Copies of this chain bind each other. A is one copy, B any other.
Amino acid sequence: MSATYPRISKQLDDPETAREEGRRKIDWARQHMPILETLREEFEESSPFDEQRIGMAMHVEAKTAALVETLAAGGAEIAITGCNPLSTHDDVSAALDAQPNITSYAKHDISDQEYYDAIETVIAIEPTITVDDGGDLVFRIHDKHPDLIENIIGGCEETTTGVHRLRSMDADGALEYPVFAVNDTPMKRLFDNVHGTGESSLANIAMTTNLSFAGKTVVVAGYGDCGRGIAKKAAGQNAHVIVCEVDPRRALEAHMEGYEVMSMREAAPKGDVFITVTGNKDVITREDFEQMHDGVLLANAGHFDVEVNLDELSDLATNVSTVRDGVREYELQDGRRLNVLAEGRLVNLAGPLSLGHPVEVMDQSFGVQAVCVRELVGAHSTGLPDRLLSTIRNRIGQADGPRVVADRGYKAGVNEVPDALDREVASIKLDAEGITIDALTDEQDEYTNSWQHGT
């Protein structure tokens, strides 16, 4: 397609090499994304997106590329740009852009103006579907191109922040087409939070510091899904885990798991590694820093860099220096050294060695994206084996497989992802892993219903 925006692949010093390198990265991701591969094969056969133009604004790196190629395999024309200039891999962008149905306008480290220009260029394809990570596409369309809305079937939103913004729009009656809150599905949250954040946070800490966890006291602040994952995985590396929580029931859950539970003030002098995952601010503050021993590590795995109060830490410090890539050492008056990882930003994503979320986690999340896009066009699974369809039917009580709602049947606004779609993605993953599960017999189904709903 024609595009006035200067496409990245045209500008690279050696576009051929970049494309090859990007291809290599994408292939590695695809090798480990069995859900998307299954869906890609289905889409190649059924071509559900033949008439569609999909506009996307997401982190342009290898895992996202696998989603793009999956949707393209279903016949869509796709235009994509980044949702954050710093997360773009130019080589991946080039490899995407080299393909017939796909145009990529993402470029690493561009200016704000270029960033919005690129979004405009994506919008210029007049998308029938939008796929967002943060909501920028949806906002821009509503703000600047309201005329396009009547031809937009719907959208998907990947993140907490985006869903939050869309809900605000929705509450004001300002969201004029349906958007699936992919962020909120169990398939995204359960695995991303517990396993993805848990494992990648610890691996990043270990590899950034050359330290190990065995025998360390790890203080986990926040016992939501992410905190549970970190606590569990840290204990699985033979750390001694202390949990801090403000919710008494969650605190009791942590206690009943066998962790020590106490206030941050009490934990401060005991911890060797502190990991905040509360979603709140000022979780570790001056009074805590004053109690910590020499050499502790301070890391954040919650959304923003406000959980460890770095301003107060700076005030306390007599000297601050970067002692390793990704490690800032704050030296206190008495010589104690507190080490902040990744400048208090997400340690699993912002660390110097970080590769972002593990591939399998994004496979699950993007698998939900792919079936949601399919759902928006009113198509349903054609590739799922009969056995799986039957399992989902049995469980969901539907006659027609996981397809739930007819074309355009969704209301304008934020829509929950139909649970059957979420379960379909789980089924695809199980199938890809070669796992067979039981299906309810009719008698069992009846027994369950009679018991649950009264006789």
A355: Cβ under 8 A from any B Cβ: yes
Contact A435 B337 (CB under 8 A): no
CB distance from A12 to the nearest CB of B (A): 20
CB distance from A257 to the nearest CB of B (A): 5
Query: Number of A residues whose C-beta is below 8 Å from B?
Result: 107
Contact A430 B248 (CB under 8 A): yes
**B interface footprint on A321-339 (CB within 8 Å = 1, 0 otherwise):** 0011001000000000100
Contact B355 A207 (CB under 8 A): yes
Contact B443 A281 (CB under 8 A): yes
Within A356-409, which residues are at the interface with B (CB < 8 Å)? 356, 358-361, 388, 391-392, 394-395
* CB-nearest residue of chain B to A272: B433
**B interface footprint on A118-139 (CB within 8 Å = 1, 0 otherwise):** 0000000000000000000000
Cβ-defined partner of A454 (8 Å) among B164, B194, B441: B164
Contact A215 B441 (CB under 8 A): no
Q: Which residues of B contact A252 (CB under 8 A)?
A: 187, 191, 215, 426, 429-430
A237: Cβ under 8 A from any B Cβ: yes
**B interface footprint on A201-217 (CB within 8 Å = 1, 0 otherwise):** 01110110111111100
Stretch binding the partner chain, chosen from A74-82, A86-94, A147-155, A261-269: A261-269
Contact A200 B206 (CB under 8 A): yes
Q: Which residues of B contact A210 (CB under 8 A)?
A: 28-29, 355-356, 358-359
Cβ-defined partner of A236 (8 Å) among B235, B324, B423, B451: B235
CB distance from A23 to the nearest CB of B (A): 10
Q: Is the interface of A mostly helix, strand, loop or mixed?
A: helix
Contact B249 A426 (CB under 8 A): yes
A448: Cβ under 8 A from any B Cβ: yes
A116: Cβ under 8 A from any B Cβ: no
| Bound-state Cα–Cα, A248 to B35, Å | 14
Stretch binding the partner chain, chosen from A102-110, A174-182, A239-247, A310-318: A239-247
A290: Cβ under 8 A from any B Cβ: no
Q: Which residues of B contact A209 (CB under 8 A)?
A: 32, 359
Contact B199 A206 (CB under 8 A): yes
A100: Cβ under 8 A from any B Cβ: no
Q: Which residues of B contact A111 (CB under 8 A)?
A: none
Within A440-455, which residues are at the interface with B (CB < 8 Å)? 440-441, 443-444, 447-448, 451-452, 454-455
| Bound-state Cα–Cα, A118 to B446, Å | 36
Given A27-B323, A210-B358, A211-B359, are A32 and B295 also a contact pair (CB < 8 Å)? yes
Q: Which residues of B contact A319 (CB under 8 A)?
A: none
Q: Which residues of B contact A241 (CB under 8 A)?
A: 258
Contact A448 B279 (CB under 8 A): yes
Q: Which residues of B contact A202 (CB under 8 A)?
A: 203
Contact A263 B395 (CB under 8 A): no
Q: Which residues of B contact A191 (CB under 8 A)?
A: 214, 252, 256
A residues apposed to B, CB below 8 Å? 24-25, 27-29, 31-32, 164, 167-168, 171, 186-187, 190-191, 194-196, 199-200, 202-204, 206-207, 209-215, 232-233, 235-241, 244-249, 251-253, 255-266, 279-282, 294-295, 323-324, 327, 337, 353, 355-356, 358-361, 388, 391-392, 394-395, 422-424, 426-427, 429-430, 433, 435-441, 443-444, 447-448, 451-452, 454-455
A-B contact pairs, 27 of them (CB 8 A): A24-B324, A28-B324, A194-B214, A195-B212, A203-B203, A212-B358, A214-B256, A214-B360, A215-B256, A215-B360, A232-B238, A246-B391, A246-B438, A248-B395, A248-B426, A248-B427, A251-B426, A252-B429, A261-B430, A261-B435, A263-B436, A264-B438, A279-B451, A280-B447, A281-B443, A281-B444, A353-B353
What are the nearest 8 A-B pairs in CB distance? A236-B236, A195-B214, A212-B358, A248-B426, A210-B355, A168-B454, A215-B256, A249-B426
